[in-house]
Structure 1
Amino acid sequence: MERLGEVVRTAQGLLILRAAGEDAPDIGRTAVDESLNDVGRVVDVFGPVSRPYVAVSPDGDEPLATMLGEKLYGR
């Protein structure tokens, strides 16, 4: 399991993460929180190559704003 990044904002029903490093995750990878609960799937990687952004489509009905600042991991 690797750290995907931290949720920095929401946009159009997606969670936007600032990637933890240069290595971008594969699209379709499952995103989980620190408790290993499924949060969603990676649907896009964009921005600068040195530290890209990752868009995650959430699975649940939890309000997206409650996820701001959360660290997510890839499984």
Structure 2
Amino acid sequence: MSKLKRGPVFLGILLHNVGNEAVLKGKAVPRLGVKAYDEELNDVGYVTNIFGPVNSHFVAIKLTTDKKYPQGSKFYIME
């Protein structure tokens, strides 16, 4: 039996691009390695780190696309 996917879950808002990584102000707390998606639900990379205090954390995403995202862009994960 396969898991049913419920759809996109808001991951966070882009604060900074650092090389091929994006740092988000986190909303959801994802698992490491889970795929990340942009606002159009295109696969853009995967979660590499979660850091900061529990009630105000940050999420690092390793980008696997050459597209540049502006500050304030929203990212999602699939649940």
TM range (shorter): 0.7 to 0.9
**Which one has a bigger Cα radius of gyration?**
2
Any unmatched runs of 5+ in structure 1? Answer: none
Per-residue CA deviation, residues 4-36 of structure 1 (Å, 9 max, x unaligned), is 00000122431000012xx41100111101111
- 1:74 aligns with 77
Q: Which runs of 4+ in 1 moved over 4 A?
A: none
Kindly, what percent of the aligned residue pairs are identical?
34
Specify the SS of the correspondent of 1:57: strand
- 2:10 aligns with 3
Q: TM-score, normalised by structure 1?
A: 0.84
Q: What are the residue-to-residue correspondences of 1:29-68 with 2, within 5 Å?
A: 29-63=34-68, 66-68=69-71
Any unmatched runs of 5+ in structure 2? Answer: 1-7
Q: TM-score, normalised by structure 2?
A: 0.80
Residue correspondences, number: 71
1:25 corresponds to which of 23, 30, 44: 30
